[in-house]
């Protein structure tokens, strides 16, 4: 996991098929930011029984406002991704 002052990177391993994880991340709203779809990919792990779900969000350094406001926005989004990924694991692993 990386959180610089301009970029958030998070990843988790989910014990589920790529199809099940895809079912989650293709849902409207899961990857949509302010009306813009964020690039994403699914990387099946080598055993085929789990998937690494990785999210990267960048561009915080190009936001308007003060440095403190940009950092507050980044920190809020970093916490949001922590919550989203924590919820993704049990959702995708369910039968």
Task: Compute the mean pLDDT over every residue in the chain, rounded to the nearest whole number.
Answer: 78
The phi, psi pair for 74, rounded to 5°, reads: -60, -45
pLDDT value of position 1: 44
Q: What pTM does this model have? A: 0.70
Do 43 and 11 form a contact (C-beta atoms < 8 A)? no
Quickly state the pLDDT bin for 58 (edges 50, 70, 90). confident
Asked if 40 and 55 count as a contact pair (C-beta separation under 8 A), the reply is yes
What torsion do the CA atoms of 44, 41, 8, 94 make, to the nearest 10 degrees? Answer: -50
Query: 81 pLDDT exceeds 50?
Result: yes
66 or 93, higher pLDDT: 66
Dihedral sign from CA coordinates of 45, 51, 52, 57:
positive
Residue 95 has pLDDT above 60, yes or no: yes
Residue ranges per structural domain of the chain: 2-93
8 Å CB contact between 21 and 15: no
């Amino acid at each position: 996991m990386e959180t610089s002052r301009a970029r958030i990177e998070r990843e988790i391993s989910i014990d589920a098929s790529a199809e099940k994880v895809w079912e989650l991340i293709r849902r409207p709203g899961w990857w949509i930011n302010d009306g813009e779809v964020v690039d994403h990919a699914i990387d099946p792990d080598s055993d085929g029984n789990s998937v690494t779900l990785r999210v990267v969000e960048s561009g915080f350094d190009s936001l308007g406002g003060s440095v403190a406001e940009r950092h507050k926005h980044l920190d809020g989004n970093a916490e949001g991704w922590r919550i989203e990924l924590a919820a993704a694991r049990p959702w995708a692993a369910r039968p």
